[in-house]
Amino acid sequence: MSDDKKQLWGGRFTAPPDETFAEFNDSFRFDQRLFAADVTASIAHANGLQRAGIISSEEGNSIVDGLKALLNEASENADHFATAKAEDVHSFIEAKLIEKIGDTGRKVHTGRSRNDQVATAFRLWCRDEIDAVIELIRRVERSLLDLATRHQDAVIPAYTHLQRAQPVLFAHWCLAYFEMLERDVERFGQARERTNVMPLGSGAVAGTGFPIDREAVAQELGFDGLSKNSLDGVSDRDFAVDICSAASLLMVHLSRLAEDMILYASTEFGFITLSDAVSSGSSLMPQKKNPDALELLRGKTGRVFGNALALLTMIKGLPLAYNKDMQEDKEAVFDTIDTIGISLRAAAVILNNTSLNAEAARNAAATGYLNATDLADYLVAKGMPFRIAHETVGKAVLFAIEKGCELNELELGGLSQFSELIEEDVYERLSLASSLAARSAVGGTSPERVREALAAARSKLEK
Ligand code: ARG
């Protein structure tokens, strides 16, 4: 057995692990992603041991220098350790340290367990990834605002039940997704707060047996606080669930965006065009230009939900405190972070390669009786109770359908047979421009409100 692979717990055993068991048990092939985080935490731990006088300053310096050298080797060549053999990243690092500095390396694990060690390294890794995810969400937000700005005055139909409902500014549609992503930023921020708590010092389960100043170690690692109970410290994976559930909602939003855009890019809608750079063709049908990128955005949502559910199921029913089941936390979070990372990068690129076919969208917004509510509101403004106005306009719509025209294409005589309150000024009220302008309450689609919302969104991003 190579030295890399020597177990941390060999003393009590007289026989080596079965090969299949080892393959089943080992996590190094995936948890090596925690390498830098675990070395960083080990450096802070060694400093803590030294400050407490548990190891001498020579020993402390030797351990810290050895660990830093390992970090350098890994940063110079990302694949440096990729094929090494080890049970997990923690035993790997300890073995490498001993190889590098000799017996002093055997002191690094004083006063800690892999149980508090893995929780600490995992939280450090997650914290940095959350920051990266928030940056990527911002990138998509910026792309949405740019798309809205490229088509400032454009109008599209808004849908309910996927039936044309009322006209809205295209920018208003863009800003709806901006709002969703803002909540995602907030949710990841909250997940970060719960992630950025240091379990190191919890030991295996009962707390460390050495007088290490946990506050100082936490400060060195940039943690905002300490876990307050050792049983909870080593077994809390709520932060991983927080991350995976924030990721699930993020993917819900990207998936809904994708679905809207897939529909809008279809010949039937024809509202948007995706550039060639983000479209694919068919191997058989020469005419096809497919929105594969958007479909993948929608399709990758399922695995992110799956990861969240896998984590919840893994934790449910676990007796306190650490159980090996918990080793399953990493792949769920790694896959989630990888999936949302590429999805966000793709979403930004897709939006940057999207253009609105303003005329087609406007025509769709101007036909199909999307101004029926405006006619009802017009009657209400002239004193008619809304319920009666609704009924009246319903009849007018039926009449227009029979005539094969829009409400605003009916002659005044045709319209006023439904109510004598309808006068010449009705045509102005039925125009697309008045329909938009009328929705001027906060959150509405009037050009003025949307201009403000766009500016507010911009300044939020610039902060
Ligand atoms: N590789 C383990 C994990 O990811 C950490 C080691 C703790 N193992 C143990 N037998 N106490 O959870």
Tell whether the torsion through CA atoms of 29, 30, 35 and 36 is positive or negative.
Answer: positive
Q: Which CATH number does the domain housing residue 53 bear?
A: 1.10.275.10
Q: Which CATH number does the domain housing residue 411 bear?
A: 1.10.40.30
- Report DSSP state, residue 96: H
Ligand 1 atom at minimum distance from 330 CA: 4
Residue 461, pLDDT above cutoff 90: yes
Answer whether 27 contacts ligand 1 (Cβ < 6 A).
Answer: yes
Domain range for 247 is 115-212+223-363
Distance 233 CA to ligand 1 centre (A): 14
Are both 104 and 155 inside the same structural domain? no
- CA 290 to CA 261: how far, in whole Å? 12
The answer to whether the CB of 412 falls within 8 A of the CB of 422 is yes
Residue 336, pLDDT above cutoff 90: yes
SS3 61: helix
Q: For 176-201, write each residue's pLDDT tens digit.
A: 999 999 999 999 999 999 999 999 99
Ligand 1, atom 10, lies closest to the CA of 324
Residue 242, pLDDT above cutoff 70: yes
Q: Write the CA distances from 402 to 164, 198, 396, integer angstroms.
A: 19, 71, 10
- CA-nearest of 381, 384, 364 to 166 is 364
Type of residue found at 341: G
Q: Is residue 159 part of a domain?
A: yes
Question: Ligand 1 test: best mutation among 8, 93, 115, 125, most atoms within 8 Å of CB?
Answer: 115
Confidence of residue 22 (pLDDT cuts 50, 70, 90): very high
Distance 161 CA to ligand 1 centre (A): 50
SS3 107: helix
Ligand 1, atom 6, lies closest to the CA of 114
Confidence of residue 3 (pLDDT cuts 50, 70, 90): very low
Answer whether 118 contacts ligand 1 (Cβ < 6 A).
Answer: yes
Confidence of residue 98 (pLDDT cuts 50, 70, 90): very high
The answer to whether the CB of 141 falls within 8 A of the CB of 347 is no
What is the number of alpha carbons within 13 Å of residue 45 lying toward its C-beta? 31
Are both 88 and 231 inside the same structural domain? no
Q: State the greatest distance between any 2 C-alpha atoms of the chain, in Å, as a whole number.
A: 101
Please state the rounded mean pLDDT for residues 423-445. 98
Interacting residues of 447 by C-beta distance below 8 A, sequence separation 6+: 153, 169, 436, 437
Are both 27 and 140 inside the same structural domain? no
Q: For 125-158, write each residue's pLDDT tens digit.
A: 999 999 999 999 999 999 999 999 999 999 999 9
Answer whether 115 contacts ligand 1 (Cβ < 6 A).
Answer: yes
Distance 337 CA to ligand 1 centre (A): 21
- CA 456 to CA 461: how far, in whole Å? 9
Give me the helices (H) in 168-300, please: 170-195, 214-221, 230-235, 238-265, 292-299
Q: Of the candidates 338, 363, 388, which is a domain's last residue?
A: 363
Question: Ligand 1 test: best mutation among 322, 329, 331, most atoms within 8 Å of CB?
Answer: 322
Distance 306 CA to ligand 1 centre (A): 23
Beta strands 225-226; 197-198: pairing state: parallel
Q: Is residue 47 part of a domain?
A: yes
The answer to whether the CB of 273 falls within 8 A of the CB of 323 is no
Give the pLDDT of residue 339.
98
Are both 340 and 194 inside the same structural domain? yes
Interacting residues of 222 by C-beta distance below 8 A, sequence separation 6+: 127, 196
Please state the rounded mean pLDDT for residues 37-58. 98
Beta strands 197-198; 163-169: pairing state: unpaired
Ligand 1, atom 2, lies closest to the CA of 327
Answer whether 326 contacts ligand 1 (Cβ < 6 A).
Answer: yes
Answer whether 87 contacts ligand 1 (Cβ < 6 A).
Answer: no
Ligand 1 atom at minimum distance from 324 CA: 12
Are both 180 and 269 inside the same structural domain? yes
Q: Is residue 435 part of a domain?
A: no
Distance 22 CA to ligand 1 centre (A): 13
CB atoms within 10 A of CB 316: 7
Distance 56 CA to ligand 1 centre (A): 28
What is the number of alpha carbons within 13 Å of residue 118 lying toward its C-beta? 27
**Token couple for 428:** 């102005």
Ligand 1 atom at minimum distance from 118 CA: 5
The answer to whether the CB of 427 falls within 8 A of the CB of 407 is no
Answer whether 177 contacts ligand 1 (Cβ < 6 A).
Answer: no
DSSP β-bridge partners for residue 197 = 225
Ligand 1, atom 11, lies closest to the CA of 115
Give the pLDDT of residue 9.
81
| % of the chain at pLDDT higher than 70 | 99
Describe the crossing of helices 114-150 and 35-51 by its angle, rounded to 10 degrees: 130
| % of the chain at pLDDT higher than 90 | 95
Distance 118 CA to ligand 1 centre (A): 7
CB atoms within 10 A of CB 416: 16
Question: Ligand 1 test: best mutation among 93, 113, 120, 327, most atoms within 8 Å of CB?
Answer: 327
Q: For 346-383, write each residue's pLDDT tens digit.
A: 999 999 999 999 999 999 999 999 999 999 999 999 99
Give the pLDDT of residue 1.
42
Are both 358 and 322 inside the same structural domain? yes
Give the pLDDT of residue 121.
98
Are both 305 and 175 inside the same structural domain? yes
Q: Is residue 90 part of a domain?
A: yes
What is the number of alpha carbons within 13 Å of residue 274 lying toward its C-beta? 29
Confidence of residue 259 (pLDDT cuts 50, 70, 90): very high
Are both 196 and 86 inside the same structural domain? no
Record the pTM: 0.96
Are both 340 and 406 inside the same structural domain? no
Q: Which CATH number does the domain housing residue 182 bear?
A: 1.20.200.10
Q: Is residue 447 part of a domain?
A: no
Beta strands 155-160; 163-169: pairing state: antiparallel
Beta strands 272-274; 354-356: pairing state: antiparallel
Confidence of residue 77 (pLDDT cuts 50, 70, 90): confident
Describe the crossing of helices 89-101 and 57-76 by its angle, rounded to 10 degrees: 110
- Residues with catalytic annotation? 161, 282
Question: Ligand 1 test: best mutation among 28, 88, 200, 237, most atoms within 8 Å of CB?
Answer: 88
**Mean pLDDT in the chain?**
96
- CA 395 to CA 417: how far, in whole Å? 10
The answer to whether the CB of 114 falls within 8 A of the CB of 42 is no
**Token couple for 55:** 């190891």
Question: Considering its fold, how many domains does the chain have in total?
Answer: 3
- CA 38 to CA 107: how far, in whole Å? 16
Radius of gyration of the chain from its Cα atoms, rounded to whole angstroms: 30
Distance 111 CA to ligand 1 centre (A): 16
Residue 2, pLDDT above cutoff 50: no
**Token couple for 302:** 């399922």
DSSP β-bridge partners for residue 168 = 156
Ligand 1, atom 12, lies closest to the CA of 327
